[in-house]
Amino acid sequence: MPEIGIGILGGGYMGKAHSVAMSSVGAVFNTKLRPRLEMICASSPESAERYRKAYGFARATADWRKLVADPAVEAIVIATPQELHKEIAEAAFAAGKPVLCEKPMGATLEEAEDMVAAAEASGVANMVAYNYIRTPASRFARNLIASGRIGTVTWFRGEHTEDFYSDPESPASWRTTGMANGTMGDLAPHMINAALALVGQVESLVAEVETVHSERPGGTVTNDDQAQMMCRFSNGAMGHLFFSRVATGRKMGYAYEIMGTKGAIRFDQEDQNAVWLYLAEGPEAERGFRKILTGPAHPDYEPFCLGPGHGTGYQDQIIIEARDFLCAIETGEAIWPTFRDGLEVNRVVQAAIESSRDKAWRSL
């Protein structure tokens, strides 16, 4: 079983998730390439060493250049703050190493464009880490739409809402400064990516982006708390998206509803193992949204459990993502979403910010 040396940059929230995923993806999916936890990089030698021990890496470093250059590191996962994405990715591509990069790709649209150029110039595997769309449930939803099961899509509503900043007395922090850490930088990309995957390209939009609580204990808030946009998809569907970190009561409100001429789909990540499907067929008296529990009949579920309804969780999405990344490396085939696919998300984010600033519709 050929091994592949993995280097992960960042050991916090996502760095841990990727580390665990790389530990178990082989056993779960019986992958051809087997990850070897080669090196982890964090902001200081101490934290890097702490992560190394905790996650079981062979080596640690506080110098990302060292990790990228190390010959035993054969694939790179970028889970650093967004400000560093571009520089690291470009170095990795220059060294001919495949990159899985946390969303969104760069801190700005320009950076994202540069990253796409670097990725495509390198010709190696490149992927943006949009994990939520990889659940068996959302993959099933995509398949249903793509196969025409709900007819022509006429309406899409999506949201990514959480409430970790809903209390106005929660103090200011690094999260409350820097566009990349606001709702449009942190939460919106996930649901925009979902909208693109489920319905298709966005043609035009009008948006509002706002800071609800501009002052918090400890400082002024300089990025956005919530945002919404109305949009028109290229295929004609009408859409609405909402993003918030002040959505009181919402913990993991990655949710969408999609209406078509023959059916409808509803999904909420807070109950991530269910897809609600309505089909406009059969006797009127027997129609209703059905709660379908994911199981071996749905994409990517069976490797986790043979029993339907037994459920996958957050970590499992990252494992699926790791499988896809390994597969792209092994086969040399592009796997969605590549950096180019990811760029589309950044374009929508940028257009939304400009629309809000100008209080006007914008075309993409």
Residue 360 touches its own copies, criterion: CB under 8 A: yes
Q: Does 2 bind its own copies (CB under 8 A)?
A: no
Please report how close the Cβ of residue 299 comes to its own copies at its closest, in angstroms. Answer: 9
**Sign for the pseudo-dihedral over CA of 301, 303, 304, 308:** positive
Q: How far is the CB of 178 from its own copies (least distance, A)?
A: 19
354 is a contact residue toward its own copies (CB under 8 A): no
212 counts as binding its own copies under rule CB under 8 A: yes
Q: Report 20-49 residues binding its own copies (CB under 8 A).
A: 20, 23-24, 26-28, 30, 34
Beta strands in 62-114 (DSSP E): 75-78, 99-102
Strands 219-220 and 215-216: antiparallel
Phi, psi of 183 (to 5 degrees): -65, -40
Assess 261 for contact with its own copies (CB under 8 A): yes
Residues 55-74 binding its own copies (CB under 8 A) are 55-56
Please enumerate in sequence order all residues whose Cβ is within 8 A of that of 300, keeping only pairs 6 or more positions apart, or say none: 134, 136, 139, 320, 323
| Binding flag, residue 172, its own copies (CB under 8 A) | no
CA-to-CA distance for 72 and 53, rounded, in angstroms? Answer: 18
Count of all residues that appear for the chain in the document: 364
Question: In terms of Cα–Cα distance, which of 90, 60, 64, 75 is closest to 25?
Answer: 75
State the nearest-atom distance from the C-beta of 48 to its own copies, in Å.
15
Q: At its nearest, how many Å lie between its own copies and the CB of residue 341?
A: 24
* Other CB atoms within 10 Å distance of the CB of residue 73: 23
Question: Per rule CB under 8 A, is residue 193 in the interface with its own copies?
Answer: no
Q: Among residues 310 and 340, whose Cβ is nearest to its own copies?
A: 310
Q: Check binding of 146 to its own copies (CB under 8 A).
A: no
CB 265 within 8 A of CB 246: no
* Residue 30 beta carbon to its own copies: minimum distance, rounded to whole angstroms: 4
Which residue, 84 or 238, is less far from its own copies as judged by CB?
238
Q: List the one residue from 218, 297, 331, 357 that touches its own copies (CB under 8 A).
A: 297
Task: Please identify, using beta-carbon distances, which residue of 96 and 313 lies nearer to its own copies.
Answer: 313
Strand spans (E) along 83-124 = 99-102
Near its own copies by CB under 8 A: residue from 244, 300, 326, 352 = 244
Q: Which is nearer to its own copies, 123 or 314 (CB)?
A: 314
Nearest-angstrom CA–CA distance, 230 and 157: 9
Segment contacting its own copies by CB under 8 A, of 59-67, 175-183, 188-196, 269-277: 269-277
Taking alpha carbons only, the member of 321, 272, 1 closest to residue 141 is 272
The site that binds its own copies (CB under 8 A) totals a number of residues, namely: 94
